[in-house]
């Protein structure tokens, strides 16, 4: 297991002053095969689950290392988590983001006092691999490939089991894998019968390709409004966790994600970003199976102009066939 229950219990204590216990609510729509529930991590102080992992890893990092300041690579949500926690600790935070990162996430990091360096996608991804960035002398906080980050994310599973003890499946957006694997480690230990699926977008779905091949594979990547997940490759370490812990990856189309985004706004009056919409779309599609299915609403950080434009375009799309 990437993390133990003891580590997750400790993480729960560590993040108490920063992260909220978010609500679990029914999706206000009937589906043909499942009763879908939404875990609303978009209601966190930074609008994303990333605050959990950031708060835990920084709580466990020695003070003398934090005094140098912190560095992370992020498309925007982990960036906000690290900047939020750094401001609470009174230390500087530097973030390397892809030059395609949404403006609303960049502005949020800057409001929190973080310094943002925009880089081409390949250079940004190398920062994950090398855990360094030229010219920045700071302690690196990895967005997903870190047991303390995964333990922080695993606290979500404890809340799910307390709030909905008898659910059948959960669908989790797959970015780097830290959210899926952190949650899955807890569920496999405490409720092994629960089905656990990653959700990916068709324009960048390396996990599905890697699981099908039995080894990490590189796929084509096309930027889209689904910016919180999706890359060309899966880290080898995260792939090993995923193939042991997950039941598969459900890949959704951009149209399905946009329709799920509109459905959540219309029926539950919530703003979800593209990654979250992928989990909702996968849950209502029936591909996660029947019964009580939880869709992990990982965040709600999307430019409002983009959100409005997308919802306007969805007006001409058919409603998801599994939803009434």
From first to last of its 324 residues, the chain has per-residue pLDDT tens of 899 999 999 999 999 999 999 999 999 998 878 899 999 999 999 999 999 999 999 999 999 999 999 999 998 889 999 999 999 999 999 999 999 888 888 999 999 999 999 999 889 989 999 999 999 999 999 999 999 999 999 999 999 999 999 999 999 999 999 999 999 999 999 999 999 999 999 999 999 999 999 999 999 999 899 988 988 999 999 999 999 999 999 999 999 999 999 999 999 999 999 999 999 999 999 999 999 999 999 999 999 999 999 998 887 655 666 777
Query: What angle do the packed helices 304-314 and 254-268 form, to 10 degrees?
Result: 100
Query: What angle do the packed helices 50-60 and 77-89 form, to 10 degrees?
Result: 40
What pTM was estimated for this model as a whole? 0.94
As a whole number of angstroms, the distance between CA 75 and CA 97 comes to 5
Of 74, 180, 231, 298, catalytic: 298
Residues listed for the chain: 324
- pLDDT digits over 248-263, tens only? 999 999 999 999 999 9
50 flagged as catalytic = yes
* pLDDT computed for residue 126 by the predictor: 92
298 flagged as catalytic = yes
- Mean pLDDT score of the chain, rounded to an integer? 94
Query: What string of H, E and C letters represents the secondary structure of the chain?
Result: CCCCHHHHHHHHHHCCCCCCCCCEEECCCCECCEEEEEEEHHHCCCCECHHHHHHHHHHHCCHHHHCCCEEEECCCHHHHHHHHHHHHHCCCEEEEEECCCCHHHHHHHHHCCCEEEEECHHHHHHHHHHCCECCECCEECCCCCCHHHHHHHHHHHHHHHHHCCCCCEEEEECCCCHHHHHHHHHHHHHCCCCEEEEEEECCECHHHHHHHHCCCCCCCCCCCCCCCCCCCCCCHHHHHHHHHHCCEEEEECHHHHHHHHHHHHHHHCCCCCHHHHHHHHHHHCCCCCCEEEEEEECECCCCHHHHHHHHHHHCCCCCCCCEC
Domains of the chain: 5-47+147-314 (3.40.50.1100), 51-140 (3.40.50.1100)
Residue with tokens 């892809």: 98
* pLDDT computed for residue 292 by the predictor: 97
* pLDDT computed for residue 241 by the predictor: 97
* Residue 74: closest CA among 20, 141, 134, 2: 141
Neighbours of 135 (CB within 10 A): 7
As a whole number of angstroms, the distance between CA 102 and CA 129 comes to 22
Of 50, 74, 231, 262, catalytic: 50
């Amino acid at each position: 297991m990437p993390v133990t229950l003891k580590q997750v219990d400790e993480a729960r204590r560590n993040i108490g002053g920063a992260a909220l216990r978010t609500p679990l609510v029914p999706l206000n729509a009937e589906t043909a095969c499942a009763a879908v529930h939404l875990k609303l991590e978009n209601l966190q102080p930074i609008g994303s689950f990333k605050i959990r992992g950031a708060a835990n890893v920084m709580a466990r990092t020695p003070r003398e290392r934090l005094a140098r300041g912190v560095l992370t690579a992020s498309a925007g949500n982990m960036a906000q988590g690290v900047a939020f926690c750094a401001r609470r600790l009174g230390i500087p935070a530097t973030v390397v983001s892809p030059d395609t990162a949404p403006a609303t996430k960049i502005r949020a990091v800057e409001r929190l006092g973080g310094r943002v360096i925009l880089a081409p996608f390949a250079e940004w991804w190398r920062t994950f691999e090398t855990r360094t960035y030229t010219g920045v002398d700071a302690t690196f906080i990895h967005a997903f490939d870190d047991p303390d980050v995964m333990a922080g994310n695993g606290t979500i599973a404890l809340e799910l089991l307390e709030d909905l003890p008898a659910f059948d499946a959960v669908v989790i957006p797959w970015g780097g894998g830290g959210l899926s694997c952190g949650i899955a480690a807890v569920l496999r230990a405490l409720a092994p019968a629960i089905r656990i699926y990653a959700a990916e977008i068709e324009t960048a779905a390396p996990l599905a390709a890697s699981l099908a091949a039995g080894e990490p594979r590189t796929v084509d990547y096309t930027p889209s409004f689904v910016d919180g997940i999706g890359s060309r490759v899966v880290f080898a370490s995260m792939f090993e966790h995923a193939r042991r812990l997950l039941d598969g990856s459900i890949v959704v189309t951009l149209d399905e994600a946009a329709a799920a985004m509109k459905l959540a706004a219309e029926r539950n009056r919530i703003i979800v970003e593209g990654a979250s919409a992928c989990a909702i779309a996968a849950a209502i599609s029936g591909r996660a199976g029947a019964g009580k299915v939880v869709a992990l609403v990982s965040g709600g950080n999307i430019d409002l102009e983009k959100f409005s434009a997308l919802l306007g375009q969805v007006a001409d799309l058919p409603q998801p066939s599994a939803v009434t």
